[in-house]
Chain A
Amino acid sequence: MATTGEQEVLPKLVSKDFVSNQEVKWCPGCGDYSILKQVQTVMPDLGIPREDIVFISGIGCAARFTYYMETYGMHSIHGRAAAIASGVKAANPDLSVWIVSGDGDAFSIGGNHFIHLMRKNFNVNYLVFNNQIYGLTKGQYSPTSEKGKVAKSTPFGSIEEPFNPSELALGARASFVARSLDRDPKHLQAMLKRANDHQGTSFVEIYQNCAVFNDGAFFAYSDKETKKESAIFLEHGKPMVFGENDSKGIKLDGLTPVIVDLTQPGNSVSDLWVHDETNKTMAHLIASFFDTSYNGVHFPRPFGVIYSEDRACYDDMMKAQIDELITRKGRPSLNKILSGDKTWTIL
């Protein structure tokens, strides 16, 4: 610590400063490699000293992430990372806390902690690597697997509806909901930065390819031939356009989304729905572009910041309440606490 009162000038960190000395052990072709790379790439730009960054993970392939980051980290138990991270943040709100989880870890065994963290709004970042399959246990369907999924434990197809994580998070009153994917490094980096900047729980769902058990589950959103038609990349304040050469757009007919062909006369970009990430009603509509169809029309999968809301964080309020109480009531001495209000003396 510099004692002159001046800030110690730190050499600018680079990506490799965030690479730990542990050998990375994911399967070849795993989307986790790209996510790790993007996280390590954006970290230096966040301007946070490495010792103030903590990664907390649960169990699963994604959870090994913590070992590979040259920061503080805890690889904990299945599903509980969100609760552990809450305690870390409550103990030291100055830390930059990142939760890394998979779809089973976050939405199945950790589902309760997931929804309550969204509601409580600790100022942490929650990255869920969604590959729609259980990888580490070798290929069972997960709570985000599509209905009908044939997997190890569902040889005749799953009969369950999957979670739509964005809707789940919004339903749990998340203050920040975004979606990105492993195969779009630039977009993912941008989302990571947005998550870091957001004050509150920042939930980023990251579509991640499992090359072994669910290969290609999300290729439609990244392959050149299909991406334009099947995905829409949201930008705040920009009209909702997608398709080859931005030829399509989404417009609102009341509260019903409608896809319009911008190449047809009479359809104009100026009539389109302009994305407002602070509008919760709109966020719910966008999040529903999943398996919901409107008037039989299927909508492109949205990527980007779906919703962002300024709301007080749990850790700030916890601290503020304590500070306010100390100001108002003072701090009783331990002796006062030991004696309580009513004592008697035996002589």
Chain B
Amino acid sequence: MEQVLENNLSNTATTIEAESIVIRFSGDSGDGMQLTGMQFTDTAAFLGNDLSTFPDYPAEIRAPIGTTAGVSGFQVHFGSREIYTPGDEFDVLVAMNAAALKVDLPRLKKGGIIITNTAGFDKKNLGLAGFADGANPLTDGALDNYVVHKLDVTKLVKECLTDSGLGMKEIERSKNMFVLGLLFWMFDEPMDYTLNFINEKFGKKPDIANANIKALKAGWNYGDNTEVFTTRFKVNAASLPKGEYRNITGNHSTAIGLVAAAEKTGLPLFLGSYPITPASDILHDLSKYKTNNVKTFQAEDEIAAIAAAIGASYAGDLGVTTTSGPGMALKTEAMGLALMLEIPLVIVDVQRGGPSTGLPTKTEQSDLLMAMYGRHGESPLPIIAASSPADCFETVYEACRIAVEHMTPVIFLSDGYIANGSEPWRFPTEDQLPPITVKFLTEANGPEGKLLPYKRDDLFVRPWIKPGTKDLMHRIGGLEKQNETGNVSYDAKNHEVMTHLRAAKVEKIADTIAPIKATSGKDSGKLLVLGWGSTAGAIKTAVRECIAQGYDVSHVHLRHINPFPKNLGEVLASYEKVLIPEMNCGQLLQLIRAKYLIPAIGLSKVQGQPYTTSELRNKIIELLK
């Protein structure tokens, strides 16, 4: 080591330009892999790379140390071309211990680079990871097909921080910074962003800040000074559309989409929420925007959360509730009430693996049929789904528009994959956001000064009447109402009329939705891949690859699922075959088959993991053979 450091010649490593790279940071839950990955991501974003990330972590906060159950991964795919997925396979795997290697090696490209912390491969760690007695992949040739860099990161960090005055535990915590520094060197990326981050984060703890900075720089220098690393990579900036960008996760863009809707409408935003993975970050984020007319209410349970949001909407705020599958199940009765009251409400469901507690930190699209049908009685609700982290913004904003302009609860579907994943976002300015029209009734709308709370307009929308409005006192509730007057009615025919009116109101929303068209491929042809939600990136990539190889395939992606865009039937009929890939057992498939009576083909994946491009490509090619 000493000798190497003295040999302070400029590094002789050769630099290879790469179009795109996938790195998987993998370690124990306490190894700081999420933070490391995010720092690398932000830096790449600043350099103008397009990218997509995928945090993949266990449900336990601190699962047993050293076991495969405790492995926390962060995957980043960055490139000089457009990137729509976190990547099928990794080019580089950072494995901080034996368990991490065991879990993630299967998805490392043959010939890929492995950077390991040898301290995580002692007898104990190998045993915990489930390697056979005496087996050690670092020494027994198991990794011969890969480029393996064995570093005792723990020791290196200890050596560089002996004089820091910090205890062993704190010193060891800087391991991830050493690795990050090394990767910055490998990919020729500056450390400035992370240096600023460290100074901000540990501003009040200079000892810790200095240790992290020292470890980070030591990592960089290790790459630069040792001649172990003979190759560096350069990923040039992507030619993205001109404009100003930021990096954003789906949950954060959902939060600010809601803030934007509140600001544009002038309606205060009321969030009623109960903590639940993977939706809690929306509650956390919104609670920071109290200066912008946002009220956040952490309720005693999921039901109280939606009930309070209903109360707030009734009183004239924009009511929102955020949750995931188990919370959705608890909220169903209250959704029925909001539907019956015909008041605006946005219900955010960040889907996760189910049923029951299921896979709390893993992704799935299996709440679609619950959103569609999961209430008693005839109870249609608009459903809208986001397709990427940045798309959560526009989609939830659209959910607010529908809720307010059509006086209805709206279900907004996101999922764990896009909620936690991030991508660069060319964010809009305030004046680029479409308007949302808010109308409160201020005087009686019926003959002879009579109030008719359930009198409808051309789109079958009833008026929004705030308590506090003079002379418009009236009562509403969950009991069936007489048409127009809103008085309680048990009349048989009236119930049928009201049932159809409520359904027609939701159908009418289609009048306000733009026609849908293929975003890749042609407007007609042999095969259409129809997707919804977070599969967008993988489908887009697979379809474009197939088109490049000469296949006749197109991609249509749905944002509005209830009602469907009006021209969807026509679009579907323009292709010989329709493939619907979903991270469920075929839920959109059922809806499409039932409504359009076409033999659509399903592709199902329920592994708590997003689709890889190759899974989709293989299916497309199979269907076109």
Which A residues form the contact surface with B (CB < 8 A)? Answer: 20, 22, 49-52, 54, 56, 59, 66-67, 69-77, 80, 82-92, 94-95, 112-113, 116, 318, 321-322, 325-326, 329-335, 337-340, 342-347
Contact with A along B593-612 (1 / 0, CB 8 A): 00000000000000000000
CB pair B470–A113 under 8 Å, yes or no, is no
CB pair B468–A335 under 8 Å, yes or no, is no
Stretch from B61-69, B363-371, B423-431 at the A interface: B423-431
Kindly identify which residue among A20, A80, A344 contacts B303, using a CB–CB cutoff of 8 Å: A80
Which chain A residues border B427 with CB–CB below 8 Å?
Answer: 338-340, 343
Kindly identify which residue among A49, A90, A335, A346 contacts B312, using a CB–CB cutoff of 8 Å: A90
A-B contacts, 6 of them at CB < 8 A, read A73-B474, A91-B314, A112-B300, A337-B259, A337-B292, A340-B246
CB pair A338–B292 under 8 Å, yes or no, is no
**Candidate in B244, B308, B316 with the most chain A CB atoms within 10 angstroms:** B308
CB pair A337–B260 under 8 Å, yes or no, is yes
CB pair B468–A95 under 8 Å, yes or no, is yes
Which chain A residues border B471 with CB–CB below 8 Å?
Answer: 51
Kindly identify which residue among B272, B290, B315, B478 contacts A92, using a CB–CB cutoff of 8 Å: B315
**Candidate in A66, A80, A321 with the most chain B CB atoms within 10 angstroms:** A80
Closest CB-CB distance, B374 to chain A, in whole Å?
A: 16
For the A-B complex with A51-B468, A338-B430, A347-B242 known, give 11 more contacts whose Cβ atoms are closer than 8 Å. Answer: A51-B471, A54-B315, A74-B311, A77-B478, A84-B307, A87-B313, A89-B311, A91-B313, A342-B246, A345-B245, A346-B241
A337 to B237 CA separation, bound complex (whole angstroms)? 26
Closest CB-CB distance, A21 to chain B, in whole Å?
A: 9
Kindly identify which residue among B244, B246, B259, B290 contacts A321, using a CB–CB cutoff of 8 Å: B290
A175 to B426 CA separation, bound complex (whole angstroms)? 51
A79 to B312 CA separation, bound complex (whole angstroms)? 17
Stretch from B16-24, B42-50, B537-545 at the A interface: B42-50
Which residues of B293-350 have CB atoms within 8 Å of chain A's CB atoms? 295, 297, 299-301, 303-305, 307-317, 319, 333-334, 336-337, 341
Contact with A along B108-147 (1 / 0, CB 8 A): 0000000000000000000000000000000000000000
Which chain B residues border A91 with CB–CB below 8 Å?
Answer: 268, 270, 295, 311-317
Closest CB-CB distance, A50 to chain B, in whole Å?
A: 6
Which chain B residues border A70 with CB–CB below 8 Å?
Answer: 473
B476 at the interface (CB under 8 A from A): yes
CB pair A87–B479 under 8 Å, yes or no, is no
> Are A116 and B475 also in contact (CB < 8 A) when A72-B467, A94-B468 are?
no
> Are A85 and B311 also in contact (CB < 8 A) when A67-B475, A75-B479, A334-B263 are?
yes
A326 to B291 CA separation, bound complex (whole angstroms)? 5
A91 to B315 CA separation, bound complex (whole angstroms)? 6
CB pair A112–B301 under 8 Å, yes or no, is yes
Which chain A residues border B469 with CB–CB below 8 Å?
Answer: 51
Closest CB-CB distance, A119 to chain B, in whole Å?
A: 9
Which chain A residues border B240 with CB–CB below 8 Å?
Answer: 346
CB pair B256–A80 under 8 Å, yes or no, is no
> Are A116 and B291 also in contact (CB < 8 A) when A75-B479, A95-B315 are?
no
The residue on A at minimum CB distance from B264 is A334
**Candidate in A84, A340, A342 with the most chain B CB atoms within 10 angstroms:** A84
B487 at the interface (CB under 8 A from A): yes
Kindly identify which residue among B237, B290, B309 contacts A87, using a CB–CB cutoff of 8 Å: B309
B289 at the interface (CB under 8 A from A): yes
CB pair A334–B259 under 8 Å, yes or no, is yes
Closest CB-CB distance, B125 to chain A, in whole Å?
A: 37
Number of interface residues of B (CB under 8 A): 71
B472 at the interface (CB under 8 A from A): yes
CB pair A77–B334 under 8 Å, yes or no, is yes
> Are A113 and B268 also in contact (CB < 8 A) when A51-B470, A330-B291, A335-B430 are?
no
> Are A333 and B245 also in contact (CB < 8 A) when A49-B470, A76-B478, A346-B48 are?
no
CB pair B295–A83 under 8 Å, yes or no, is no
A329 to B429 CA separation, bound complex (whole angstroms)? 22
CB pair B300–A332 under 8 Å, yes or no, is no
CB pair A66–B291 under 8 Å, yes or no, is no
Closest CB-CB distance, B331 to chain A, in whole Å?
A: 11
A84 to B462 CA separation, bound complex (whole angstroms)? 21
The residue on A at minimum CB distance from B304 is A83
Which chain A residues border B307 with CB–CB below 8 Å?
Answer: 76-77, 80, 83-84, 87, 113
Kindly identify which residue among B245, B297, B311 contacts A343, using a CB–CB cutoff of 8 Å: B245
Q: Is the interface of B mostly helix, strand, loop or mixed?
A: mixed
Which chain B residues border A116 with CB–CB below 8 Å?
Answer: 299-300, 304
Which chain A residues border B312 with CB–CB below 8 Å?
Answer: 87-88, 90-91
Closest CB-CB distance, B248 to chain A, in whole Å?
A: 8
Which chain A residues border B35 with CB–CB below 8 Å?
Answer: none
Kindly identify which residue among A54, A82, A87, A95 contacts B270, using a CB–CB cutoff of 8 Å: A87
Kindly identify which residue among B245, B260, B336 contacts A346, using a CB–CB cutoff of 8 Å: B245
Which chain A residues border B475 with CB–CB below 8 Å?
Answer: 20, 22, 66-67, 69, 72-75
CB pair A322–B237 under 8 Å, yes or no, is no
CB pair A80–B334 under 8 Å, yes or no, is yes
In order of increasing CB-CB distance, the 8 nearest A-B pairs are A87-B311, A75-B477, A87-B308, A83-B307, A91-B315, A83-B304, A72-B467, A84-B311
CB pair B291–A92 under 8 Å, yes or no, is no
Closest CB-CB distance, A11 to chain B, in whole Å?
A: 14
CB pair B304–A80 under 8 Å, yes or no, is yes
A332 to B256 CA separation, bound complex (whole angstroms)? 13
CB pair A67–B488 under 8 Å, yes or no, is yes
CB pair A92–B244 under 8 Å, yes or no, is no
> Are A86 and B308 also in contact (CB < 8 A) when A20-B475, A72-B474 are?
yes
Which chain A residues border B449 with CB–CB below 8 Å?
Answer: none
A80 to B307 CA separation, bound complex (whole angstroms)? 7
B435 at the interface (CB under 8 A from A): no
Closest CB-CB distance, A109 to chain B, in whole Å?
A: 10
A86 to B300 CA separation, bound complex (whole angstroms)? 12
Which chain B residues border A50 with CB–CB below 8 Å?
Answer: 473
A71 to B474 CA separation, bound complex (whole angstroms)? 6
A129 to B408 CA separation, bound complex (whole angstroms)? 32
Which chain A residues border B319 with CB–CB below 8 Å?
Answer: 87
Which chain B residues border A75 with CB–CB below 8 Å?
Answer: 475-479
> Are A344 and B292 also in contact (CB < 8 A) when A67-B475, A92-B316 are?
no
Kindly identify which residue among B291, B304, B476 contacts A331, using a CB–CB cutoff of 8 Å: B291
**Candidate in B301, B471, B473, B478 with the most chain A CB atoms within 10 angstroms:** B473
> Are A52 and B468 also in contact (CB < 8 A) when A332-B292, A339-B246 are?
yes
A52 to B478 CA separation, bound complex (whole angstroms)? 22
Kindly identify which residue among A84, A87, A331 contacts B292, using a CB–CB cutoff of 8 Å: A331
B243 at the interface (CB under 8 A from A): yes
CB pair A77–B311 under 8 Å, yes or no, is no
CB pair A88–B467 under 8 Å, yes or no, is yes
The residue on A at minimum CB distance from B297 is A90
The residue on B at minimum CB distance from A120 is B300
Which chain B residues border A92 with CB–CB below 8 Å?
Answer: 315-316, 466-468
The residue on B at minimum CB distance from A21 is B487
The residue on A at minimum CB distance from B42 is A342
The residue on A at minimum CB distance from B479 is A75
A255 to B241 CA separation, bound complex (whole angstroms)? 78
The residue on A at minimum CB distance from B467 is A72
Closest CB-CB distance, A62 to chain B, in whole Å?
A: 14
A71 to B471 CA separation, bound complex (whole angstroms)? 9
CB pair A344–B297 under 8 Å, yes or no, is no
CB pair A74–B476 under 8 Å, yes or no, is yes
**Candidate in A22, A85, A344 with the most chain B CB atoms within 10 angstroms:** A344
CB pair A74–B477 under 8 Å, yes or no, is yes
Which chain B residues border A325 with CB–CB below 8 Å?
Answer: 290-291
Closest CB-CB distance, A1 to chain B, in whole Å?
A: 9
CB pair B337–A86 under 8 Å, yes or no, is no
Which chain B residues border A52 with CB–CB below 8 Å?
Answer: 467-468
CB pair A56–B311 under 8 Å, yes or no, is yes
Contact with A along B451-495 (1 / 0, CB 8 A): 000000000000000111111111111110000000110000000
CB pair B301–A76 under 8 Å, yes or no, is no
A338 to B333 CA separation, bound complex (whole angstroms)? 35
